[in-house]
Amino acid sequence: MPKIAFIGAGSMVFAKNLVGDILSFEELSDSRITLMDIDEHRLEQTTEVAEAMVANGNVDATIESTTDRREALGDADYVLNMINVGGTEPFENEIRIPEKYGVKQAIGDTLGPGGIFRGLRTIPTMLDLAEDMEELCPDALLLNYTNPMAIICWALYESTDIETVGLCHSVPHTAEAIAEYTDIPQDELDYWVAGINHMAWFLECEWRGEDVYPLLREAMTDPETYEKDTVRFELLKHFGAFVTESSHHNSEYHPYFRTDEELIAELGGTNYAERMETATYLEGWKERSNERDNALAEFDDEEIRIERSEEYASRLIHSMETDTPRRLNLNVSNENGAIANLENDACVEVPCLIDGTGVRPCSVGELPPQLAALNRTHVNVQRLAVEGALAGDRERIHQAIKLDPLTAAELTLDEIHEMTEELIEANEAYIPDLN
């Protein structure tokens, strides 16, 4: 009966999915699940849904809830982190201040000014979480879902002995997209994917032993299909591989796609322009805030059922608890050179073998040089962001943003400096002191 602690469980829909995933495995259906959040109302909503799932599914799981993180962590075997630090004000600053300068972020949670400052305000809490784990559950596995994935995980690798892996659904979602574009059943695709979070590459993709890439290249010649994923098809055309994460996300990871409004509209396509607009994640997050406070309105307790989503957490836990071999793409340290031509201290997303002995990253060898080069543009930023956050080094944060591809495509060095200073001042209450 493993104890699984959910930190940040107030995100009810996501937490509900993860709880349902765990309970869907018979071998995990008697788990002790402890839900923790600092927002009592949202925690109560998640607890009610989880308890209904247990009752309706007639399983033996124990559901607990607490606003005390240390209580949640005590004797945990697995810790699932899904926190959001700071709320609306810093998020809005991270998007709107750069936008004022001309840096038009779509999401802002991975790289760029938004991702770097989101990392700055999240890392201190993550280090506190890891410190508590070292005292209360030192052998537990930390499964991180919070973005910016690579920056947060890298900071943890540098600062704690707690075993940490990052989980993201971009690989299965991308496989779903490839299956749609090529008219192939997703469960019949066989693929080998590696890179970094939100920029991993489908190095191999086969169906019944045949390469799927010719079908994918043919599919993108159809205008309707091309408009569904413009940026990723452009990257495929120019760099030779299909990348994880949506065109919406990828548009802000490169210097090519978000430098003027006409280009943004053009890449959005006739029917998909709204997906490419600036600040869509921020605006959607704000619109959904009221829904999150009233999430139970969408559910009838008697109708809540145990279902399994595509998320990796339950599969990973099941493999470790039952010694069932699986291969999943996870975010891990590159310390053993899983990707030979990326830095060994970077956080990489690679295939990992999981069973009762734990998580073992697979050796991918070298990425094609053009793909490794694109990944390095992010790794360089991530390194400086982590160093700046851990050391409270203002200059490192400035340098990280100056190396961001989208920011550098839009602004001069002096403009970037001014924008960064404004961000530091606006979010001073949410980030570490910077010297």
User: What is the distance between the alpha carbons of residues 430 and 428, in angstroms, rounded to a whole number?
Assistant: 6
- Check residue 303 and give its pLDDT: 81
- Check residue 281 and give its pLDDT: 85
Quote the DSSP letter at residue 36.
E
The residue to which tokens 């799932």 are assigned: 53
Q: Which of 255, 231, 192, 270 is nearest to 403 (CA)?
A: 255
- Element (DSSP H or E) covering residue 206: strand 199-207
User: What is the distance between the alpha carbons of residues 288 and 295, in angstroms, rounded to a whole number?
Assistant: 10
- Check residue 265 and give its pLDDT: 82
- Check residue 88 and give its pLDDT: 93
Helix (H), strand (E), coil (C) string for 309-377:
CCCCHHHHHHHHHHCCCEEEEEEEECCCCCECCCCCCCEEEEEEEEECCEEEECCCECCCHHHHHHHHH
Strands 189-196 and 164-166: unpaired
Confidence (pTM): 0.96
- Check residue 274 and give its pLDDT: 55
Q: What is the CATH number of domain 3-168?
A: 3.40.50.720
Q: What is the pLDDT along the chain (435 residues), one digit of tens a residue?
A: 899 999 999 888 889 899 999 999 999 999 999 999 999 999 999 999 999 999 999 999 999 999 999 999 999 999 999 999 999 999 999 999 999 999 999 999 999 999 999 999 999 999 999 999 999 999 999 999 999 999 999 999 999 999 999 999 999 999 999 999 999 999 999 999 999 999 999 999 999 999 999 999 999 999 999 999 999 999 999 999 999 999 999 999 999 999 988 888 888 765 555 567 888 888 888 887 777 777 776 777 778 889 999 999 999 999 999 999 999 999 999 999 999 999 999 999 999 999 999 999 999 999 999 999 999 999 999 999 999 999 999 999 999 999 999 999 999 999 999 999 999 999 999 999 999
Other CB atoms within 10 A of residue 392 CB:
14
- Check residue 299 and give its pLDDT: 75
User: What is the distance between the alpha carbons of residues 309 and 304, in angstroms, rounded to a whole number?
Assistant: 14
Catalytic site positions: 169
> Largest alpha-carbon pair distance within the chain?
62
Residue spans per domain, the chain: 3-168
- Check residue 275 and give its pLDDT: 66
